[in-house]
């Protein structure tokens, strides 16, 4: 077993670390306070090649492997989860789906524009009444002479307001359940596509989150990704990549909690000495270190399996479950180390605490990850009545 990164991977990680510290970290608090989706910063992230890291160079990507992609996402996630969400959605959910399921023409049309950041993409799977039960799509696709007409609504869509292309999942025949789902590449300037910002989020204030209504949106035949009936598998394979990316971002949050807590506890004096010298503070830091390292190893293993082309759905769910829950714990513990100072946004741990909470919800809740892991362990699908 080899835990060493290659020289190239180390260099890319260092570059991502520097970039995050110079470009992302200094803007994170103001973007969060102002609820500002920083498109200018998204452009800089794209210029680094981080929006198409795992996409081959011939389509405008950086042609990197999954482990290296995970290292980049970890650093961006340490800096700002709102920006990490952009990287995850654009790269893992949108680009990787087009790469895997698209025709040559679709790849040529969309991937270079998405990798360069000229266009943003969004992933329209979740609906107001369809969350964990993703096969139960209420959005309808009706066949016409020249293509399809889409009607329905989508919910919790990251970048729904800013996307130029939306992957929209829709049911072509409800009787077929998941075998009737199709996926469409919808140009968002088409009549009938109407996004609306979702207000009042607990965190990710620097991220754009929208609901989308689809009212007689006409799409041509060549805007379908894959075939009728491929839609559900497209969503699941996208989520295999997306969950990996969320997990890697959470390793970044864990690491950020450790770094901030070590720094603060060495500066902060109580009872005449730094609080880092107290055993109970060290115990909190040790718990965070262990959670960080364990999460990172699980992410690296999932990345290794992806790069080897081996099945990895269960291992990805294990990494996602563990790293997101660990990051929630670390953010809470880091605030405890900071005391009152952790309750305001002078320190990033306050933002970590709010931003991390969604990671055990989106791209499959912790409970869904447990059902995937439990099914692999027992061979029994808990979602099918006995
Ligand atoms: N890769 C390829 N195929 C897969 C697959 C995978 N990972 N997982 C399942 N499939 C295939 C199965 O093999 C099966 O194929 P056949 O029909 O050929 O047999 C088919 O898909 C149906 O599979 P299941 O029976 O497992 O389907 P299910 O209805 O029981 O659902 C589930 C399983 C795991 C619960 C799934 O519905 C799920 O993951 N739900 C959670 C949805 C989710 O994560 N939503 C997040 C939204 S995206 C988001 O948050 C984005 C954002 O903007 C940040």
CATH superfamily ID and name for 233-378: Butyryl-CoA Dehydrogenase, subunit A, domain 3 (1.20.140.10)
C-alpha of residue 135 to centroid of ligand 1, in Å: 7
Regarding beta strands 140-143 and 181-187, do their DSSP bridges make them parallel or antiparallel, or are they unpaired?
Answer: unpaired
Instruction: Please work out whether the CB of residue 135 comes within 6 Å of at least one atom of ligand 1.
Output: yes
Q: Class of the 122-228 domain? A: mainly beta
List the catalytic residues: 363
C-alpha of residue 278 to centroid of ligand 1, in Å: 47
Q: What pLDDT does 45 receive?
A: 98
Q: What pLDDT does 384 receive?
A: 86
Q: Across the 386 residues of the chain, what is the mean pLDDT of every consecutive 10-residue run?
A: 92 98 98 98 98 97 98 98 98 98 98 98 97 96 96 98 98 95 97 98 98 98 96 98 98 98 98 98 98 98 98 98 98 98 97 98 98 97 85
Instruction: Please work out whether the CB of residue 108 comes within 6 Å of at least one atom of ligand 1.
Output: no
Instruction: Please work out whether the CB of residue 134 comes within 6 Å of at least one atom of ligand 1.
Output: yes
CATH of 7-120, one of 1.20.1260.10, 3.30.360.10, 3.40.50.720, 1.10.540.10: 1.10.540.10
Nearest 5°: phi and psi at 250? Answer: -70, -30
C-alpha of residue 148 to centroid of ligand 1, in Å: 24
Q: What pLDDT does 250 receive?
A: 98
Q: What pLDDT does 1 receive?
A: 81
Q: What pLDDT does 78 receive?
A: 98
The ranges assigned to domains in the chain are 7-120, 122-228, 233-378
Mutate to test the pocket of ligand 1, among 120, 236, 245 (most ligand atoms within 8 A of CB): 236
């Amino acid at each position: 077993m080899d835990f060493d990164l290659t020289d190239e991977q180390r260099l890319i990680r260092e570059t991502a670390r520097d970039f995050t510290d110079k470009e992302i970290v200094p803007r994170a608090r103001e973007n969060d306070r102002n609820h500002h989706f920083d498109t200018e910063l998204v452009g800089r992230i794209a210029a680094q090649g981080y929006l198409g890291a795992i996409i081959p160079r011939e389509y405008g990507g950086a042609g990197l492997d999954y482990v290296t992609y995970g290292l980049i996402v970890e650093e961006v996630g340490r800096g700002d989860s709102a920006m990490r969400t952009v990287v995850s959605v654009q790269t893992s959910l949108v680009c990787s789906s087009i790469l895997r399921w698209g025709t040559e023409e679709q790849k040529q049309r969309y991937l270079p524009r998405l990798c360069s950041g000229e266009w943003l993409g969004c992933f329209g799977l979740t609906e107001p009444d369809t969350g964990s039960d993703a096969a139960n799509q209420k959005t309808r696709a009706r066949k016409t002479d020249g293509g399809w007409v889409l009607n329905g609504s989508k919910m919790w869509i990251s970048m729904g307001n800013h996307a130029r292309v939306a992957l929209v999942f829709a049911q072509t025949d409800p009787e077929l359940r998941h075998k009737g789902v199709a996926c469409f590449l919808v140009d968002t300037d088409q009549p009938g596509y109407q996004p609306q910002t979702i207000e009042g989020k607990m965190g990710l204030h620097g991220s754009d989150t929208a609901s989308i209504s689809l009212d007689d949106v006409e799409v041509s035949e060549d805007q379908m990704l894959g075939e009728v009936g491929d839609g559900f598998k497209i969503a699941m394979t996208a989520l295999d990549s997306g969950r990996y990316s969320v997990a890697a971002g959470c390793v970044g949050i864990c690491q950020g909690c450790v770094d901030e807590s070590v720094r603060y506890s060495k500066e902060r004096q109580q009872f005449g000495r730094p609080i880092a010298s107290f055993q109970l503070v060290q115990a909190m830091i040790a718990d965070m270190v262990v959670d960080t390292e364990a999460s990172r190893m699980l992410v690296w293993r999932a990345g290794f399996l992806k790069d080897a082309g081996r099945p990895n759905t269960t291992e990805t769910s294990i990494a996602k479950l563990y790293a997101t829950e660990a990051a929630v714990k670390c953010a809470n513990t880091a605030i405890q180390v900071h005391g009152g100072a952790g309750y305001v946004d002078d320190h990033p741990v306050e933002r970590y605490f709010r931003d991390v909470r969604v990671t055990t919800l989106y791209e499959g809740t912790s409970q869904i990850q447990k059902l995937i892991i439990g099914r692999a362990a027992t061979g029994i699908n808990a979602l099918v009545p006995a």
